[in-house]
A and B are shown apart, each in its own frame.
Chain A
Amino acid sequence: MLTKRIIPCLDVRNRVVTKGVKFQNNVDLGDPIEMAVAYSDGGCDELVFYDITASAERRPIDIDMVSDVAKSIRIPFSVGGGISNLDDMYRVLLAGAEKVSVNSLAVRTPQIIGDGSRAFGAQCIVLGMDPVRTADTQKCPSGYEITTRGFREHTGMDALEWAKRAEDLGVGEMVVNSVDADGTREGFELNLTKLIATHVSVPVVASGGAGTCQHLSDVFKQAHADAAIVASMIHTGEFTIAQIKEELIRDDLPIRRKW
């Protein structure tokens, strides 16, 4: 049976893993390679790296870091942040990443999704999206608006419409990161995750808000996520991947047991 994936997310700034709340007040946590190896050995199913300052600093993604990660772990990982064209995608994939994630770039230039998908295969093009709740349901009928550049810019785009469009353009997977829940550790935005997961045919990764094993169980069972991102709850050392998995197995969820 296909198992539900638990995916630690490592936000990297100047080669240091960092974590904030709602994209602010970041604190440094450690070395990305050491953390990747520890989580991989600890049983995570995949990893996500975001070079969170590459875009703002207008510099390309740290390819040396991607290479070092690829040499150090034998599980899939995706990389986002600082991707501005097909060449950047190619360099990230050639360095050994399984997938490349686009977010603000895809909003600005949607055809990058189709171009990347045709050039490298849909399976390695991930759409990251940062929707925020909105009361303006005239503009955004789903009740969620897409933001970009780390919540700094509102786009006026409806989250569900954008998800469907990205699917048509050829993404292989979507990471739905709730701005409202990000870093709060108060649970995933279940309505949002379910809305997207039940309306697209590609796998959906829920992101933002994981604080307890129950939150993960809920997002898999109630919101039909195919995978879930964890960050603060493991970065703080409060939970290990193995603990989370044990709990989810007890909850009758299909989870990878041996690693």
Chain B
Amino acid sequence: MIAIVDYKAGNLTSVRLAFEALDTEAVITSDPEVIRSAERVVFPGVGAAGAAMMHLNEMGLATVLTDVVDAGTPFLGICVGTQILFDSSEEDGGVACLGLVPGEVKRFHPPDPLCKIPQIGWNTVGFKVDHPLFDGIENGSEFYFVHSYYPAPSDASFILAETEYADACFACVVGRGNMAATQFHPERSGRIGLQLLRNFTTWDGRV
């Protein structure tokens, strides 16, 4: 069973429906016990990092997430879920985050007024490593992004894939060991995104 962590950070319906399309049992939950005992954990989120971190702390889920990552449970962050795995985010005047990935989350600075923020749409993803989550997906495929801030790991070994937008070539997939996290939305990225999620449903957490 997959636990989709519900911490009041946006709408999780599309994540649940994507796993439903893969005939994989996935529950939306904020119950620490369900999350700890899940076979796999998905940590999604949209909206602002500050509010997301606040809800996570209020609901007592910050340590639960750290624990499941430490325990070796296959773990997938998505969008704002990915961003708050970092040490900190520039959003909301600066937010201390979970510190599971070294580095910070930065705001795009568009080089010209025609480069719009947020980035909304499909952008090319270049794989930096072979990773089980990328099985069956062609390097350079496009995924769906919606964000104004981007992940900037301070340790390059965490970078699994990169994308270019505005003033940045940024890490759009980060991870280490059993933890992987995407800035894009695999659940909104058509057949190719579904392939990444399918890979996650069979991933043993090893790379």
A interface residue numbers (CB < 8 A to B): 1-5, 40, 45-46, 70-71, 74-76, 93-96, 98, 120-124, 172-173, 197-198, 201-204, 224, 226-227, 256-259
Contacts and interface: CB of A to CB of B under 8 A. Distances in A.
- A interface SS class: loop
A259 B191 contact: yes
Contacts of B118: 122-123, 172, 202-203
A258 B120 contact: no
B188 A98 contact: yes
A204 B144 CA distance: 17
B11 to A, nearest CB: 5
Contact of B122 (A120, A201, A256): A256
Interface of B: 10-11, 13-14, 17-18, 20-21, 46-48, 110, 113-114, 116-124, 138, 141-142, 144-147, 164-165, 185, 187-194
Contacts of B122: 2-3, 5, 45, 256
Contacts of B48: 121
Q: Is the contact region of chain B dominated by helix, strand, or loop, or is it mixed? A: mixed
A120 B187 CA distance: 18
Contact of A76 (B114, B124, B144, B164): B144
Question: Which 6 A-B pairs rank lowest in CB-CB distance, beginning with the nearest?
Answer: A121-B47, A96-B13, A256-B122, A203-B116, A256-B142, A123-B146
Contacts of B164: 1
B142 A74 contact: no
| Chain A CB within 10 Å, residue with most, of B13, B187, B192 | B13
Given A1-B164, A98-B14, A226-B116, A74 B194 contact: yes
24 contacts: A2-B121, A2-B165, A3-B142, A40-B190, A45-B122, A71-B20, A71-B21, A74-B21, A74-B188, A74-B191, A74-B194, A93-B11, A94-B11, A96-B11, A120-B10, A121-B10, A198-B113, A198-B114, A201-B113, A201-B117, A202-B117, A226-B120, A256-B142, A259-B192
